[in-house]
């Protein structure tokens, strides 16, 4: 993932043309990498990836579901994400995010 353009890197060493300047940086391309944060990507309650069905739903037969909703992801105002199934069980006893202890309020839901 190299985005840099060097000029003169290979010159100048043995021929001694410009001993004061080894090379000039003519162009610089910044390259940013983006990836899922592994910590956020896993539901801290059931330890399954949030994009997969939660541990509870995995145990349930797909064919058996009578129009049952998909297992969705929920994001809190604190930006922590969990399976909606997992989090709704926890907030019944303690309405805080188990990761940061902030009062839990839903920012968005989805897949």
Partner 1 sequence: MITLNRKLKKEHTEPTNGLTTAESIVRRISVRDKLLIKEVQEMNENLPATCSVHFEDPNVLSEFILTVAPDEGYWQGGKFKFTVIVTEDYNMAPPRVKCQTRLWHPNINVDGDVCLSLLRQTSIDEHGWAPTRRLKDVVWGLNALFTDLLNFEDPLNIEAAEMYNKNKTEFQTKVQDYITKGKR
Phi/psi for 55 (5° steps) reads -60, -35
Answer with the entry of Zn ion, partner 1, none that 80 interacts with (C-beta below 5 to 8 A by kind). Answer: Zn ion
First vs last C-alpha separation in the chain: 30
19 token code pair: 């001993």
| 34 contact partners, CB below 8 Å, separation of at least 6 | none
Q: How far is the CB of 80 from Zn ion (least distance, A)?
A: 3
Q: Does 91 bind Zn ion (CB under 5 A)?
A: no
Q: Is 78 in the site for partner 1 (CB under 8 A)?
A: no
Nearer to Zn ion, 17 or 58 (CB): 58
Place of tokens 């290979």: 10
Can residue 71 be called a binding residue for Zn ion (CB under 5 A)? Answer: yes
Nearest alpha-carbon partner for 74 in 36, 34, 39, 105? 105
Could you give the CA distance from residue 24 to residue 37 in angstroms, rounded to a whole number? 36
Binder among 59, 67, 69, 111 for partner 1 (CB under 8 A) = 59
What does the binding site for partner 1 look like in residue numbers (CB under 8 A)? 44-47, 55-56, 58-61, 63-64, 86, 89-90, 93-94, 98-99, 101
What does the binding site for Zn ion look like in residue numbers (CB under 5 A)? 43, 45-46, 54, 57, 71, 78, 80, 83, 85-86, 97, 99-100
């Amino acid at each position: 993932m190299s985005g840099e353009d060097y000029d003169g890197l290979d010159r100048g060493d043995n021929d001694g043309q410009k001993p004061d300047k080894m090379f000039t940086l003519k162009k610089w391309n910044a390259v940013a990498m983006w990836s899922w944060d592994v910590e956020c990507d896993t539901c801290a309650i059931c330890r399954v990836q949030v994009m997969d069905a939660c541990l509870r739903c995995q145990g349930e037969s797909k064919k058996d579901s009578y129009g049952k909703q998909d297992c969705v992801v929920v994001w809190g105002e604190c930006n922590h994400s969990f399976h909606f199934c997992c989090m709704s069980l926890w907030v019944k006893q303690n309405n805080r995010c188990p990761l940061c202890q902030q009062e839990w309020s839903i920012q968005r839901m989805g897949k």
